[in-house]
């Protein structure tokens, strides 16, 4: 993820989380680690290799 697509990815996942009424989401990336909390929802960003590791 980069500055150009971070907002788009987070907002898209938040919309899906609201639609399905879930509080936690996950974005798999090539090499980024991060944690966002917005609207009492938690989005974890982690590398795919770490998730599947």
pLDDT at position 39 is 83
- pTM for this one? 0.88
Inter-CA distances, 39 with 8, 17, 32, 42, 43, Å = 16, 11, 22, 8, 11
Query: Which pLDDT tens digit goes with each residue over 1-53?
Result: 887 889 999 999 999 999 999 999 999 999 999 999 988 999 999 999 999 99
pLDDT at position 34 is 96
Break the chain into its structural domains and give their ranges: 6-52
Inter-CA distances, 3 with 9, 19, 45, Å = 10, 25, 14
């Amino acid at each position: 993820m980069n500055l150009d697509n971070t907002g788009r990815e987070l907002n898209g996942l938040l919309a899906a989380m609201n639609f399905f009424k879930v509080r936690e989401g996950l974005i798999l990336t090539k090499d980024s680690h991060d944690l966002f909390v917005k609207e009492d929802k938690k989005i974890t960003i982690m590398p795919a290799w770490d998730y599947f590791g």
